Structure 1
Amino acid sequence: MSQFDDFPDRDDDEEYVKSKTDVKKEMAALQELGAQIVELSDKFIARIPIEGELADAIHQARGMKHREGRRRQLQFIGKLMRKAENIEDIKTAYDRVISIGQEHTKIQHQAEQWRDRLLEEGNEALQTFVDEFPGCNVQLLRQLIRNTQKEQSQQKPPTSARKLFRYIRELIEA
């Protein structure tokens, strides 16, 4: 017989009472979510369904520089998050915003890799790129590559390299 036999097994019908530790973990998680939302740009915050006092608190925290004041403001945001009725919507929107950022970073990296490859490998890489992105303007692409190589050899500012990068990124996004 175990020392835990004195405690009845919990039935699925019984209402589960959260332990103090579970409540504290949830509070800390909501406060952390609030702190992460504060760190987002205005463009991304606009995509998250926060309103009223919570939205005001988040915008105030973004402007705070004083360490202790900001910490207290983040605690206040956590308290407001616990009271919010649409917390699942906020979490879902935050996850969506983060995935958008990750997708953008992935596209940036692909564009950088293609630009470097096109500049180093020449016609082989160009043919591979055209095969992968058939909607590209080959003549424009060749011109941008030539101009970028010329700029690099003359040690000029990378104007054409930026144009090449933008063009490649647009093709990848499309």
Structure 2
Amino acid sequence: MSLSSPTDLPNDSAPQYDRPSKSQVKRDMLALTALGKQLVDLSPERLRQLALPDALHEAIRLAQRTTAREGRRRQIQYVGKLMRTAPIDTDAIRRQLDTWAHGSREEARQQHRLEALRELLLRDDDALTELLAHHPVPDVQQLRATIRAARKEARQNEALPPGSEPQRKHYRALFQALKNLNLEP
């Protein structure tokens, strides 16, 4: 019987690892700690909207109240540890954080569109006709009255002496009326 060298072994007998490497475990641990830091940076209202275990929620709240730098760092490490040991759907948390981050950009875009529409309605009479053709408006007369009042207010503001505070009541009311129409882009 002859002894074979390690190079004579078939590729199938090479040691197979069924666990993640130490490096991968550490990357996962750091990712959860970073996610925990994001949770600590959330406002209390947003934090309440997430489905978190009570122990994790309390640890996050304590980290938010901690002012000492080293104490806060250690508490964030503890939050990361709780996230590794507790049964938490981290993918759902990441999706919600992503929605909040990108949702606010979409809200800003929608506000800019409404502001542009308001300015167009104040300048151009045909803009209201076009708006009515594309979007149903429950109370057209109320919208027309708000536009007229905002135009009158704008003319009065132009006549104000420099340094005087302009009136914006109807200008804001027009924005709110457009916002309540739920116009799709």
Shorter-chain TM range is: 0.7 to 0.9
The residue correspondences of 1:28-67 to structure 2 (distance < 5 A) are 28-67=30-69
* Matched positions, count: 165
Change (3 A) 1:152 1:76: farther
1:160 alignment partner AA = H
Question: Structure 2: any 5+ residue segments left out of the alignment?
Answer: 1-8, 158-165
1:110 alignment partner AA = R
Q: CA RMSD in A?
A: 3.1
More displaced 10-residue stretch of structure 1: 92-101 or 22-31:
92-101
Q: What residue is the counterpart of 1:25 in the other structure?
A: 27
Tell me the distance in 2 between the aligned counterparts of 1:51 and 1:115.
Answer: 45
- Bigger Cα Rg: 2
Tell me the distance in 1 between the aligned counterparts of 2:71 and 2:183.
Answer: 42
Q: 1:150 aligns with which of 142, 149, 152?
A: 152
1:71-100 deviation per Cα after TM superposition (whole angstroms, max 9, x unaligned): 332222112111121234434544455565
More displaced 10-residue stretch of structure 1: 88-97 or 28-37:
88-97
Q: What residue is the counterpart of 1:107 in the other structure?
A: 110
Change (3 A) 1:126 1:49: same
Tell me the distance in 2 between the aligned counterparts of 1:16 and 1:105.
Answer: 47
Structure with higher RCO (Cα < 8 A, 6+ apart): 1
How far residue 19 of structure 1 moved from its aligned partner, in angstroms, is: 2.1
State the TM-score, normalizing by the size of structure 2. 0.70
Q: What residue is the counterpart of 1:166 in the other structure?
A: 176
Q: 2:74 aligns with which of 72, 75, 82?
A: 72
Q: Which secondary structure state, in structure 2, belongs to the residue aligned with residue 57 of structure 1?
A: helix
State the TM-score, normalizing by the size of structure 1. 0.74
Tell me the distance in 1 between the aligned counterparts of 2:87 and 2:58.
Answer: 17
Question: Structure 1: any 5+ residue segments left out of the alignment?
Answer: 1-5
Tell me the distance in 2 between the aligned counterparts of 1:20 and 1:7.
Answer: 27
Q: Which secondary structure state, in structure 1, belongs to the residue aligned with residue 182 of structure 2?
A: helix
Tell me the distance in 2 between the aligned counterparts of 1:149 and 1:66.
Answer: 54
Q: What residue is the counterpart of 1:81 in the other structure?
A: 83
Counterpart contact for 1:31–1:74, Cα < 8 Å: yes
Q: 1:129 aligns with which of 118, 131, 137?
A: 131
Q: Which secondary structure state, in structure 2, belongs to the residue aligned with residue 172 of structure 1?
A: coil
Question: Identity of paired residues, percent?
Answer: 34
Tell me the distance in 2 between the aligned counterparts of 1:10 and 1:35.
Answer: 44
